[in-house]
Amino acid sequence: QTDDVNFYLQNISELTTALGIVDGFVQSVTKRLQANTNNSDSMMQIVSEASVNANLYLRENQRSNTTAMITAGGWVEGMHFITNMAVKTQKKEIIGLVAGQKNVLKNLIKMLEKIKSDPEVTAILVDIKDISALYDSLKPTQEVAVASADKDIKSIGNNKSYNLSNDQLKSLLEKVEALRN
């Protein structure tokens, strides 16, 4: 998937330049990613480090609005990917991941509302709240904490999950694609 990696690296370079993030940083990350294209664990580590470093750079330069917009954009892009996959495969596990974004979305909205004085944030917040309205209609199903067969580990948290009907999933995909576009 070298072509895909190169495509994403080119886009990352263009976006970080547009955001005013130091070019040397991008070049360093790009070289490391290209050197590790056959090692997915290394690539994940590099991407994770780059994300943390970019976030620190933006915070140190009082650019929390940019950080919030990047976070929102990342969420939208991730939702676009996973929602498309859920519609195509109809796999219960993937649909469950999409439904589970309900709680993530609540936190994203809280973060964006703190800086809604920014007109760009306000515009995106309207669309994200529209997506949230669809999630608000989902009713939780309580699951029992179960110990793993090979380890004595139980799930942590409220053990709630949400079910998405096929119509809700398609509606969610439409809303995410509209926002993404």
> From CA 30, how far away is CA 14, in angstroms rounded?
12
52-55, Cβ contacts within 8 angstroms, sequence gap of 24 or more? 53/25, 54/16, 54/21, 54/25
pLDDT tens for 30-72 read 788 778 877 778 877 887 787 777 777 777 888 778 888 888 8
pLDDT tens for 71-108 read 888 899 889 999 999 999 999 989 988 998 988 899 99
DSSP state of 138: P
Q: What count of Cα atoms within 13 Å lies in the side-chain half-sphere of residue 180?
A: 16
3 state DSSP class of 160 = strand
> From CA 50, how far away is CA 131, in angstroms rounded?
29
> From CA 102, how far away is CA 29, in angstroms rounded?
32
Give me the mean pLDDT over the 154-172 stretch.
Answer: 74
